[in-house]
Structure 1
Amino acid sequence: MKPTLLVLAAGMGSRYGGLKQIDPIGPSQETIIDYSIHDAIAAGFGKIVFVIREGFEKEFKELFDSKLAGKIEVGYVNQEIEKVPEGSSYNLDREKPWGTGHAILMAKECINEPFAVINADDYYGVEAFMTMADFLKNSISEQEYAMVGYKLANTISENGSVSRGVCSTNVIEHLETVVERIHIEKLSEGIAYKEDDKWIPLAGDTTVSMNFWGFKPQLFEHLEDQFRSFLAEAGQELKSEFFIPSVVAKIIDGGNTSVKVLKSDAQWFGVTYREDKEKAAKAILELVEQGVYPAKLWN
């Protein structure tokens, strides 16, 4: 059974200042998502599912349906604030959805096979998709997940703070815990994260999650249970987020599920801020010049 790729593309790009998911960066107007999909197809993924917002669904489908027709099966699900489990309540003044864990939960009804999760605005590299596809095709246990781990120093934006899942692993490269740090910056004295108005240093070779996960369908049961609890505790807050690293950390604490860390030395790039676009476009052009990608990605 071919694995599915779930692309989290519902973010509104508040720091970027627009719909960064569909902003072109390639020499033939390709988006970062295009390169991820190209790598996924080459690695043997059989279906793409996009998590998007209803507000830009038409524009999004117009961009991707035609170029992917005949290449891979494509599906769409919407992430909206009001899509919560029956009986749950939340603050009606809230303006944004509930985070990455909620986004993945939206795909519950259309994924029944092993699947990978990526952010729409991150470039992960050809090797990462090959490694993840190999894991998903060959791991037979419903209790075994995976994560592509990157070196923190390779994932920092020069233009502002970023959020990363900071990981600790055991001697057999399985995840022991992952903590979402929502304000990490490269300072003059080194990389650090901010907590309670204090800067706490982080080593550049710290393993971090870039939300490239490998899951089995059983994950959706965990997501639904934890999301109900999350809403009961934090549903009245306007900016609370249901992060997937926090979900995974609780699953690991349960003791029945392991998460294999698939290491990558690749240089991350993405478009968290509009100023990141120039650097991302230059990185893609270099990959084209090296022959990793053709100048025109889709024929």
Structure 2
Amino acid sequence: MEQLKEIKSVAIVPFTLMSSSISAVLGLIYAIILILILGVVSVFLPAEASLISSLMATMAVALILVLPVGSFLFSVVSSFVTALLYNLLVPKIGGIKLGMVEMKEVRSIPVIPVSLMLSLIYTILTFLVMLVVAPIVAVSLQGAALISISATAATGLEGLSALGIIGIIIMVIGVPILVLICSFIFSAISAILYNILAPKIGGVRLKFSSKTGNMFEIKKIPPLPLAIITTVVLTIVNFIFAIPALISYCIAGNFAGGLGYFLGNIVGSLIFTFIIYSIMALLYNCMRPKIGGVELELE
């Protein structure tokens, strides 16, 4: 029998530690794949291209260091802020709800709570990023404009400050609003598809262990159920959102290019999503005994 559970809070430290650890390992995997690609390319380079080969070797060393470390640091910040925002927003808008079967399988996800929560978190994160990025971009564009017109005439300089302010306003206000709308629609469609498909192909399965009070630790995530339902849902969503791009290609008279993009996007989503989510679940299960699992307060 399905029971509705609300995620009242997320333990910030375990969530951050697990998310950043998984991101670091994925970054290492990406680095290894890129290094292998660079190695294959360097094999086919002519002997005269020794400089390019040495640059590629240097790039390979940089990748093996930068990607894992960069992924870890970025995930530490984003995961910490995400969990913090979730806990702060729950008392105001309510938490994400899960339709659980015997506390083992997520059979349904109510659409509005998950869409509202995720869209607000993504919007706030985007707003915080834009507060830093927008002034830097505006100043850079103004500097480039000043350099380009200084050699000719000084006319139009009075409008640069106004354009910079307008650009900052667009990035700080307009971009978060766009993220709010798009992320809400994306989350809602994904939740609707999940609710339709989960009873037929099975939902995400989770093995919990009870902590203190209403706190539960996710002890294990079976990789196959997670990968199957996530892959099917995200592939269908990509299919829906790829249709406007296909229509645009057709209108432009490039049907072959549009069809190639469309099929590549769908097939790529199908394969890549299944592999990534399977690896993530496997990494979670391997690392949980060592660093602890994600802890949720369920009510």
Which TM-score tier does this pair reach, normalised by the shorter chain? Answer: under 0.3
Q: TM-score, normalised by structure 2?
A: 0.26
Give the strand-richer structure, 1 or 2.
1
Greater Rg over alpha carbons, structure: 2
Q: TM-score, normalised by structure 1?
A: 0.26
Give the helix-richer structure, 1 or 2.
2
